[in-house]
């Protein structure tokens, strides 16, 4: 509130505030407030017209009452009337009340807008500023619609006062943030950019903030600002502090404007013009030189302002990444801050050096500070600084220092804060794999990791170590020996048991020659951990035991005894019970040759990007976490529904079924596993493959109700769930044929009677009775006769507790399920694209992204949709291109798709071309729902 004269001090307001402060209890305060509200209401409704001073005083009291937390339902009209006053103090209180209490849906908004328009047109700078401040404070869409066209005109008008220009620029910035589509900058762009040359530095500062925001949205429209920003920055950094007296802060010339100009330049690449580039380099060198000078003041404000400009200059140097000398100088100056007494400066130095470490010019310079960073990791008190130290060690790691850095991280892991342990584990696992020259070191490192921080070792980490061991013959024997020794410890983490079970089950024969690790010793060692493990780990160990029967016939009797025990055959967990029964039967009836074929060693996994990297990106990435995490959970749910998983060998000629749960060792980052030929051979016979018999995991699912749309890009999962029933699906498709296994789970303690589920296709009927807590399976055979839109509905009816339950569930049978992916080279793709050029063959849809725009998730969805993902076809590497053929009984329909993401606008453009119009439209509708 502005200073007021003695006669304008609103004594009544001061007395009221004093009374409130002197109240001894909440009840006394409410009583005093109610008394005042009654008085104000009577004054407003009285016959006697109030003068401006009285209105202002009473409106102020209402405002104070509102700020105390009480509702105000009158006085708004009096506040609006104050806008028409010619006195500053009255108008100011009116605007203050409106900014705080009036919402955009108020009936008074039209009167308020008229008052604001009158003030904007008045050319009185004080009134114009009040109006602009009110627009910015409210910042609603209605305000933007009313004034977005007027404010740029005020901003660039030649006769506008400097203070009004500042307010107009900041008001426009506010409206651009709240309603960017309503701010028309096209015709004003050049004149707004020219404000960077204004003589008043306050105007330049406000204009720079506005231009930076607009340049991030439309960089091409504001690229002329680069030369003006460099010229203005050059004048500031080369001036003496006395030249800019009004804008010098503790001997630092215009620090806020300098920071804003440097931030604006980070919206663009280095200037192509040599002279301009040289001038910018000179500015940056001057800033670096000034930072080295002795401080002109011992006050913290001086060092803060000086360091703010320095760090922003270093950010620009890192952004341009083109001047080796500047990069090395920046690294050296940041190195001086690593041991600074100010925690914030140490944090900022570590953070900036993380980015510098990724530059080829400054990587070596960053590595010279490795000892200082390691020391910070050990001695730093602040956990956020220690976390940045871990990030920097990770960034500066290469082959020359990998073993030292990994050893230090492992050492720190024992005492690290719980909040960052998982991230350290991921980073150690990535570095150990990336820079492993000797894979025995990699195996030792991961096992140490599991021993030290087993609870923080995610599935992706132990999946990856098994994948690497399986793919490299030279390390398999060493891995088997090492895990065998590690398992001999009295207490082992469950993840170590998982790795040990998997590796010994595959490669235990490589160490069986030693009497200390004979087959029986290996089996007894693994089985000694069995009773301590969770159900998934026990399932994996049972799979290891059946592998032992193939590798070591001499332990067959001991293993069969375990499988035959009541604790296995009558296990409460259906997964363990089924494995024990099937493995026991397999070991009894199968010949040696059949057993060797079924239990053959796992083939090498195809080389793909490590899923640990993807997990680390998800952990660090801003904004994308929930959706990507949801994808991970869905993929893991698919694994539990599959029970077993398949993967192809590198030659793509064989497909073997893994006996281990969660056998997709590539983890969530990998595309869904290809359906192997061996599984599809018998899809339409009456007997079901072993993998398909695996029951659903009936643990509580996250899905409830109808999850139809989630099945567009996947084939397995929980389709429907309520308090009584859970319905899960496992489906397989080949050309125009499909088979769906529907699992009905009774979640109650009461039997379902007269259970029926009917569909207008050939089905094998479900069991009419579902016991409490049990599940039954129904098989549906599907054939696609022609292209279609509506999905079939499964009608379910049963009696529960004497009450008839009847409802329908839409089955996720969509047109894209009958896709066969088609691989194409670029030339064939564009030739076919031109052939499908008729208007009725193309459907294009532009839509807003519903989820985070993540490349890996998008790839997985396109592959899950059924098409082949074609790399290197589209000239723009950020676009996605796919091809496939829809198979029906009567015809085949070729399909080409192109998905163009725009991350800035958070929009997609999807283009589909097929030989049939209805197919194009249906596929477009289905796929666009997924993004």
Mean pLDDT of 741-768: 74
First-to-last alpha carbon distance for the chain, in angstroms, is: 50
Residue 151: pLDDT band by 50, 70, 90 thresholds? Answer: confident
For 21, other C-beta atoms within 10 Å of its C-beta total 8
Do the strands 819-821 and 842-848 form a parallel or antiparallel pair, or are they unpaired?
A: unpaired
Residue 106: pLDDT band by 50, 70, 90 thresholds? Answer: low
DSSP track, 3-14: ---GGGS-HHHH
- CA distances for 23 relative to 18, 27, 40, 68, 716, angstroms: 9, 9, 20, 13, 66
Residue 657 pairs in a beta bridge with 646
Instruction: At 644, list the tokens.
Output: 């077993």
Instruction: At 30, list the tokens.
Output: 């409410």
The confidence score (pLDDT) of residue 608 equals 61
pLDDT in tens, 28-79: 999 999 998 999 888 888 767 788 888 888 899 999 999 988 888 888 888 8
259 in Cβ contact with 312 (< 8 Å): yes
**Is the predicted pLDDT of residue 241 greater than 80, yes or no?**
no
The confidence score (pLDDT) of residue 665 equals 37
- CA distances for 353 relative to 112, 283, 321, 386, 852, angstroms: 52, 21, 13, 14, 28
The confidence score (pLDDT) of residue 763 equals 55
Instruction: At 622, list the tokens.
Output: 């801003």
The confidence score (pLDDT) of residue 804 equals 78
Mean pLDDT of 542-551: 88
Residue 701: pLDDT band by 50, 70, 90 thresholds? Answer: very low
Q: What are phi and psi of 503, to 5 degrees?
A: -70, -45
- Residues ≥6 apart with Cβ < 8 Å to 596: 550
- CA distances for 107 relative to 76, 103, 104, 110, 512, angstroms: 10, 9, 9, 7, 86
Of 6-20, 550-564, 582-596, 599-613, the one with minimum mean pLDDT is 599-613
- Report the alpha-carbon distance of residue 106 to residue 110 in Å, rounded: 9
Instruction: At 543, list the tokens.
Output: 């799979």
Question: Which of 441, 452, 368, 369 has its CA nearest to residue 409?
Answer: 452
Mean pLDDT of 415-429: 85
Give me the percent of the chain exceeding a pLDDT of 70: 86
DSSP track, 473-496: HHHHHHHHHHHHHHTTSSS--HHH
The confidence score (pLDDT) of residue 760 equals 56
**Is the predicted pLDDT of residue 798 greater than 50, yes or no?**
yes
Mean pLDDT of 124-146: 88
The confidence score (pLDDT) of residue 105 equals 63
359 in Cβ contact with 397 (< 8 Å): no
**Tokens 């894209």 correspond to what residue?**
816
The confidence score (pLDDT) of residue 601 equals 81
Give me the percent of the chain exceeding a pLDDT of 90: 12
**Is the predicted pLDDT of residue 762 greater than 60, yes or no?**
no
Question: Which of 638, 824, 634, 866 has its CA nearest to residue 738?
Answer: 866
Q: How many residues belong to the chain?
A: 931
The confidence score (pLDDT) of residue 259 equals 93
The CA-based angle 672-673-678, given to 5 degrees, is 145
**Is the predicted pLDDT of residue 264 greater than 90, yes or no?**
yes
Do the strands 842-848 and 907-914 form a parallel or antiparallel pair, or are they unpaired?
A: antiparallel
Q: Coil, strand, or helix at residue 513?
A: coil
The confidence score (pLDDT) of residue 108 equals 78
Most confident by average pLDDT, 178-187, 493-502, 888-897? 493-502
CA atoms within 13 A on the CB side of 744: 24
**Is the predicted pLDDT of residue 697 greater than 60, yes or no?**
no
Residue 614: pLDDT band by 50, 70, 90 thresholds? Answer: low
Mean pLDDT of 183-188: 77
- Residues ≥6 apart with Cβ < 8 Å to 927: 712, 816, 862, 865, 897, 899, 910, 912
The confidence score (pLDDT) of residue 919 equals 84
Secondary-structure percent of the chain, ordered helix, strand, coil, rounded to 5? 60, 10, 30
Residue 249 pairs in a beta bridge with 252
- Residues ≥6 apart with Cβ < 8 Å to 782: 733, 737, 738, 739, 740, 761, 813
Question: Which of 931, 911, 909 has its CA nearest to residue 921?
Answer: 911
pTM of the model: 0.59
For 861, other C-beta atoms within 10 Å of its C-beta total 22
Instruction: At 424, list the tokens.
Output: 């350290």
Instruction: At 289, list the tokens.
Output: 């030189």
DSSP track, 730-743: EEEEETTEEEEEEE
445 in Cβ contact with 406 (< 8 Å): yes
For 518, other C-beta atoms within 10 Å of its C-beta total 17
The confidence score (pLDDT) of residue 682 equals 28
Average pLDDT over all residues of the chain: 80
Mean pLDDT of 757-780: 71
Element (H, E) at 417: none
- Helices then strands, counting H and E runs in the chain, come out as 39, 17
The confidence score (pLDDT) of residue 869 equals 86
Q: Is 58 exposed, middle or buried (0-12, 13-18, 19+ CB in 10 A)?
A: buried
**Tokens 């029933």 correspond to what residue?**
725
DSSP 877: T
Residue 683: pLDDT band by 50, 70, 90 thresholds? Answer: very low
- Report the alpha-carbon distance of residue 276 to residue 226 in Å, rounded: 9
Q: Coil, strand, or helix at residue 914?
A: strand
**Is the predicted pLDDT of residue 688 greater than 60, yes or no?**
no
Mean pLDDT of 422-426: 87
Instruction: At 816, list the tokens.
Output: 């894209």
pLDDT in tens, 714-736: 778 788 887 788 888 888 888 77
The confidence score (pLDDT) of residue 793 equals 83
Residue 609: pLDDT band by 50, 70, 90 thresholds? Answer: low
- Residues ≥6 apart with Cβ < 8 Å to 503: 466, 469, 476, 479, 480, 483
The confidence score (pLDDT) of residue 170 equals 93
More confident residue, 790 or 802: 790
């Amino acid at each position: 509130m502005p200073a007021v004269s003695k006669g304008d001090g609103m004594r009544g307001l001061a007395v009221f505030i004093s009374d409130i402060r002197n109240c001894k209890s909440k009840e006394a305060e409410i009583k005093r407030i109610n008394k005042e509200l009654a008085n104000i209401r009577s004054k407003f409704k009285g016959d006697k017209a109030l003068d401006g001073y009285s209105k202002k005083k009473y409106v102020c009291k209402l405002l104070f009452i509102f700020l105390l937390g009480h509702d105000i339902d009158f006085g708004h009209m009096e506040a609006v009337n104050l806008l028409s006053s010619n006195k500053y103090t009255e108008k100011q209180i009116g605007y203050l009340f409106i900014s705080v209490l009036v919402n955009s849906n108020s009936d008074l908004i039209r009167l308020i807008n008229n008052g604001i328009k009158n003030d904007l047109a008045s050319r009185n700078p004080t009134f114009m500023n009040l109006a602009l401040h009110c627009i910015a404070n409210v910042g609603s869409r209605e305000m933007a619609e009313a004034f977005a066209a007027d404010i740029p005109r005020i901003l660039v008008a030649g006769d506008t006062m400097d203070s009004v220009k500042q307010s107009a620029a900041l008001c426009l910035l506010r409206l651009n943030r709240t309603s960017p589509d309503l701010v028309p900058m096209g015709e004003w762009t050049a004149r707004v950019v020219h404000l960077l040359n204004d003589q008043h530095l306050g105007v330049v500062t406000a204009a720079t903030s506005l231009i930076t925001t607009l340049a991030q949205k439309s960089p091409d429209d504001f690229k002329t600002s680069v030369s003006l920003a460099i010229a203005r920055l050059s004048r500031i950094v080369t001036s003496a502090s006395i030249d800019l007296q009004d804008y010098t802060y503790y001997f630092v010339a215009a620090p806020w404007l300098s920071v804003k100009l440097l931030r604006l330049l980070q919206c663009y690449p280095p200037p192509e013009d040599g002279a301009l580039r040289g001038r910018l380099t000179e500015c940056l060198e001057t800033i670096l030189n000034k930072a080295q000078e002795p401080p002109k003041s011992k006050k913290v404000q001086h060092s803060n302002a000086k360091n703010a400009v320095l760090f922003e200059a270093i950010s620009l140097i890192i952004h341009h990444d083109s001047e080796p000398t500047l990069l090395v100088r920046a690294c050296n100056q940041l190195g001086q801050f690593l041991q600074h007494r100010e925690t914030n400066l140490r944090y900022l130095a570590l953070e900036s050096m993380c980015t510098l470490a990724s530059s080829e010019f400054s990587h070596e310079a960053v590595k010279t500070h490795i000892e200082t960073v390691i020391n910070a990791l050990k001695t730093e008190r602040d956990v956020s600084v220690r976390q940045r130290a871990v990030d920097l060690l990770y960034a500066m790691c290469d082959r020359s220092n990998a073993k030292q850095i990994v050893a230090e991280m492992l050492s720190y892991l024992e005492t690290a804060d719980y909040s960052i342990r998982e991230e350290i584990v991921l980073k150690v696992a990535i570095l150990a794999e990336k820079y492993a020259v000797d894979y025995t070191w990699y195996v030792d490192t991961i096992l140490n990791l599991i021993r030290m921080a087993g609870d923080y070792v995610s599935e992706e980490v132990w999946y990856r170590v098994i994948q690497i061991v399986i793919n490299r013959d030279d390390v398999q024997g060493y891995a088997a020996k090492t895990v065998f020794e590690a398992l001999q410890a009295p207490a082992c983490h469950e993840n170590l048991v998982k790795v040990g079970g998997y590796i010994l089950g595959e490669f235990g024969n490589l160490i069986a020659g030693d009497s200390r690790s004979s087959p029986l010793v290996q089996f007894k060692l693994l089985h000694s951990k069995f009773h301590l493990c969770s159900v998934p780990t026990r399932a994996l160990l049972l799979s290891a035991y059946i592998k032992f029967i193939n590798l070591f016939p001499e332990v067959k009797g001991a293993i069969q005894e375990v499988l035959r025990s009541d604790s296995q055959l009558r296990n409460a967990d259906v997964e363990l019970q089924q494995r024990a029964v099937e493995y026991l039967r397999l070991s009894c009836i199968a010949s040696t040759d059949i057993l060797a074929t079924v239990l053959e060693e796992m083939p090498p996994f195809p080389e793909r990007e490590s899923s640990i990297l993807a997990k680390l990106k998800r952990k660090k990435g801003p904004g994308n976490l929930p959706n990507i995490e949801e994808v991970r959970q869905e993929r893991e749910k698919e694994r539990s529904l599959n029970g077993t998983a398949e993967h192809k060998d590198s030659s793509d000629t064989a497909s073997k079924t893994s006996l281990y749960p969660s056998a997709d060792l590539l983890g969530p980052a990998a595309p869904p596993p290809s359906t192997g030929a061996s599984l599809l051979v018998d899809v339409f016979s009456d007997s079901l493959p072993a993998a398909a018999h695996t029951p659903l995991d009936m643990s509580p699912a996250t899905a409830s109700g109808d999850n139809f749309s989630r099945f567009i890009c996947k084939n397995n999962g929980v389709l429907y769930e309520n308090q009584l029933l859970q319905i899960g699906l496992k489906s397989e498709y080949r050309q125009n044929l499909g088979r769906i296994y529907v699992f009905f789970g009774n979640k109650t303690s009461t039997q379902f009677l007269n259970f029926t589920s009917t569909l207008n296709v050939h089905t094998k009927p479900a069991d009419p009775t579902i016991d409490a807590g049990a599940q039954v399976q129904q098989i549906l055979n599907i054939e696609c006769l022609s292209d279609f839109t509506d999905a079939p509905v499964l009608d379910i009816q049963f009696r529960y507790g004497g009450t008839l339950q009847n409802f329908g569930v839409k089955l996720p049978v969509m047109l894209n399920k009958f896709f066969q992916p088609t691989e194409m080279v670029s030339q064939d793709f564009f030739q076919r694209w031109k052939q499908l050029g008729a208007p009725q063959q193309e459907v294009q849809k532009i839509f807003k992204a519903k989820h985070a725009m993540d490349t890996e998730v998008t790839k997985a969805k396109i592959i899950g949709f059924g098409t082949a993902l074609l790399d290197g076809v589209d000239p723009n590497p950020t676009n996605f291109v796919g091809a496939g053929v829809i198979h029906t009984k009567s015809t085949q329909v070729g399909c080409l798709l192109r998905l163009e993401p725009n991350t800035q606008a958070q929009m997609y453009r999807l283009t589909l071309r097929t030989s049939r119009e209805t197919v194009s439209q249906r596929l477009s509708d289905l796929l666009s729902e997924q993004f």
